[in-house]
Structure 1
Amino acid sequence: MKFAVIGGTGRIGSRVLENLEASGHQAVAHSLSTGVDIITGQGVEAAVDGADCVINLANSPTFDDASLAFFQTSMDTLLTACRKGGVRHFVILSIVGVDQVPGLDYYRAKVLQEDILRSGPIPYSIIRATQFMEFMDATLSMTTEGDTVRLPRTPIQPIAAADVARIVAEAALGSPLNGILNIAGPDVYALDELGRFTVASKGGGLSVVTDDTAGMFAAVSGDVLTAPADARIAPTRYADWLA
């Protein structure tokens, strides 16, 4: 099979590419650095032409309300090109619980991306993942002042990027779901608890304070970012990944 991986040079995309190639398939990475611009359309038709499956892992450069325009334009551009190019399967990576956090602009933008795909002309699969383990350092830094990190008690269920990439590749190799596959790591943590665990493992003298108004995850209600009952649970535990 032939795959076009949009955003194929990034954290997840490069791993998806490796998984597909290891399975004996032809996979090509496309991004701005390879001359493919999914906003202007430059190089897009050539990138997807003849592909059996397009995997779109490109992300908005911002997480504010400008991300809505990014996903609207990029999806319109890609789907138009895919229809012309005979693509039979279109895969995107989204977020578990994304449609239940209307207070975050970026989450609303990802919902828009899902809706555009559902109403488009190409059979599709939507893979919703929980928060990446690799993003924990960035999460800590967003609410760090001096030696203090403020984090809410939001429940999360982190998943390793390597597990995400493997499952995305498997989904792309399969028949279109025309629906959603939720995936998550094996363990649920309160975010402040996970922050303390992470800080303790790294040393450095930071102190984590529970603050349910701190950071972007303060906008999340309840346990909507944890795995629903039908989710596929990946094997990598946070403690093992951290080690």
Structure 2
Amino acid sequence: MKVVVIGGTGLIGSTVVARLTEHGHDAVPAAPSTGVDTITGQGLKEVLQGADVLVDVSNSPSFADDDVLAFFTTSTGNLTAAADAAGVGHYVALSVVGAERAADSGYMRAKVAQEKLIRESGLRYSLVHATQFFEFAAGIADSATAGGVVRLPDGGVQPVAAADVAAVVGRTAVGDPLDGVVEIAGPEVFGLDGWIRTVLAAKNDAREVVTDREARYFGEKLGERTLLPGTGALIGQVRLADWLN
């Protein structure tokens, strides 16, 4: 099976490519560095020739509200059109658990817009909704730091290892289209503040993490379950302590 992985040189994409290749599939990484640009459309026709599945795990280089919306709408519009023209039978995209509940976040609004384009494209599709990656904890802390202090709300999170996300994306890609959503989350629930506090302490990062229920998470005021998955979510194997070690 030929699977083209958009964002295939990144954190998730490179692991998806490696896993699919190990299982005998023709997994092709596609990114600007390989001559494929989803914003201009450069290289899309060529890389999708003969593809059975398109996997999109790409991300915006900028999280500014206008930039991220422009990235996902332009990229997804080009990808769905190219996939349709190439006769791709299955479009798989990685998105975020709770995006539809976080309308004040520009990033989440952009992911919802991306999903809408995929659903309305006429293509068979599967959407993989993941919770926050362990690997993004430092970035979350940086985004919430002012004056050397990290201010975060205590809304619930169920962070997951990138490797567990990649495994689900890979299995979804070689399975039948869901025309719907599958969720993947980690095995433990934390408060967002507590998770980041634990990670920073383990990495000897001296920044203080202050719990502030009025603090925003990428623009969103979190409720207790805004970022938590539903009861039917797949659960990853890697626990936070194991990942930190």
Q: Which moved more, 1:163-172 or 1:69-78?
A: 69-78
The one-letter code of the counterpart of 2:14 is: S
Could you report, residue by residue, the CA deviation over 1:119-157 in whole angstroms, capped at 9, with x for unpaired residues?
Answer: 112100000000000000111122234543222112110
Q: Which moved more, 1:12-21 or 1:197-206?
A: 197-206
Q: Mind listing any 5+ residue stretches in structure 1 that lack a counterpart?
A: none
Alpha-carbon distance in 1 for matches of 2:71, 2:201: 38
The answer to whether the Cα contact below 8 Å between 1:101 and 1:221 also exists between their aligned partners in 2 is no
Shift of 1:18: 0.5
- Corresponding residue number in structure 1 for 2:235: 233
Alpha-carbon distance in 2 for matches of 1:200, 1:7: 31
- Corresponding residue number in structure 2 for 1:212: 213
Shift of 1:221: 2.3
Alpha-carbon distance in 1 for matches of 2:205, 2:85: 54
Shift of 1:216: 2.2
- Superposed structure 1 runs of 4+ greater than 4 Å apart: none
Alpha-carbon distance in 1 for matches of 2:2, 2:231: 33
Asked if 1:31 is matched to 2:31, the reply is yes
- Corresponding residue number in structure 1 for 2:69: 68
Q: Which moved more, 1:215-224 or 1:83-92?
A: 215-224
- Corresponding residue number in structure 2 for 1:183: 184
TM-score by length of 1: 0.96
TM-score by length of 2: 0.95
- Corresponding residue number in structure 1 for 2:97: 96
Partner of 2:232, secondary structure, is coil
- Corresponding residue number in structure 2 for 1:58: 58
Number of aligned residue pairs: give it. Answer: 243
Q: Mind listing any 5+ residue stretches in structure 2 that lack a counterpart?
A: none
What is the percentage of aligned positions where both structures have the same residue?
A: 46
Asked if 1:142 is matched to 2:139, the reply is no
The answer to whether the Cα contact below 8 Å between 1:4 and 1:53 also exists between their aligned partners in 2 is yes
